[in-house]
Amino acid sequence: MRRSIAVLAVAGAVATAVMAAPAAHAEGRGDIRVVKTVVNAGGSVIVGVKNVKQFPIVMTIKDNSGVKAVTYASAFNRSNGAGPVSYLGTSCSRSSATTSVCTAVMEIDPTWIDSYGSGNEGWDANAVAGTWRADATVKANDGDYWISDNIATFKVKRAATLTTDAAPERVKKGGALTVVGKLSRANWTDLKYHAYTKQLVKLQYKKPGGAYHTVTTATSDSKGHLRATVKASGTGSWRWAYLGSTTTMKVVSTGDAVTVE
């Protein structure tokens, strides 16, 4: 737990979720409530293998006496209770006498995910990805407080990479064009990118100045490789596009230009 201690020294009140998910409950006293929550601006939290990822939990809170503070915020995977995330603190802005908008800042360090559960038998760092939930404890000026569970759900996903190589780059109209690529995703156990297998990926084409459209699909093999052979109909760019899953981000490769003579 050295990381939690280090963050605490820098950021003040920092906490780390425990391995077991707390029992579902919402309790307290008075009329203070979290009435709206948005995590990471509504998008998935994407975590790679190196960079620390910070994301906000923005809560709209109401109480007839006004909002005093968010005393704690946490987040963890709904399925297995895993929550290798640090709470860095909260700032609030009052929008009326009874309503405040408070932003809790959370942090996930990919280099810490595996060690977070290393003492647990059968621990799989990559199982951290999936659907998460956010909780918070809020306090009012008149002493009311509320432990607000499951105020929002969101996705934590593994980062992914995708490449494209179309050949030959000059081809006669109607000739065969082979487009290959590779789909990989972050592995939080060894902090490397590994082949993402058995995934359906779209091969897309666009004319100069046009928009990409799907021509065909391919499934990534045991090494994450993709391959498709198509008939060259005109000059343009080719790319692979993966739509993502509940645990892995959506990713689109850079286009590779081909000249048709």
Instruction: Give me the CATH number covering residue 253.
Output: 2.60.40.10
Q: For the segment 71-117, what is each residue's pLDDT rounded down to a tens digit? A: 999 999 999 999 999 999 999 999 999 999 999 999 999 999 999 99
Regarding whether 88 and 55 lie in a shared domain, the answer is: yes
**pTM score, whole prediction:** 0.87
Regarding whether 148 and 164 lie in a shared domain, the answer is: no
Number of domains in the chain: 2
E strand map for the chain: 15-16, 27-29, 33-39, 45-47, 53-62, 67-77, 86-94, 99-108, 130-140, 145-158, 160-167, 170-171, 176-187, 192-195, 200-206, 213-219, 225-231, 236-242, 251-252, 256-260
Q: For the segment 162-183, what is each residue's pLDDT rounded down to a tens digit? A: 999 999 999 999 999 999 999 9
Q: For residue 167, how many other CB atoms are within 10 A of its CB?
A: 13
Regarding whether 106 and 173 lie in a shared domain, the answer is: no
Check pLDDT > 70 for residue 253: yes
Check pLDDT > 70 for residue 66: yes
Regarding whether 59 and 7 lie in a shared domain, the answer is: yes
Last residue of a domain, one of 128, 157, 186: 157
Instruction: Pick the closest to residue 6 from 103, 79, 86 (CA basis).
Output: 86
Last residue of a domain, one of 135, 157, 179: 157
Q: For residue 227, how many other CB atoms are within 10 A of its CB?
A: 13
- Residue 1 is predicted with a pLDDT of 31
Last residue of a domain, one of 123, 157, 191: 157
Regarding whether 24 and 153 lie in a shared domain, the answer is: yes
Q: What is the mean pLDDT of residues 38-48?
A: 98
| DSSP three-state, residue 128 | helix
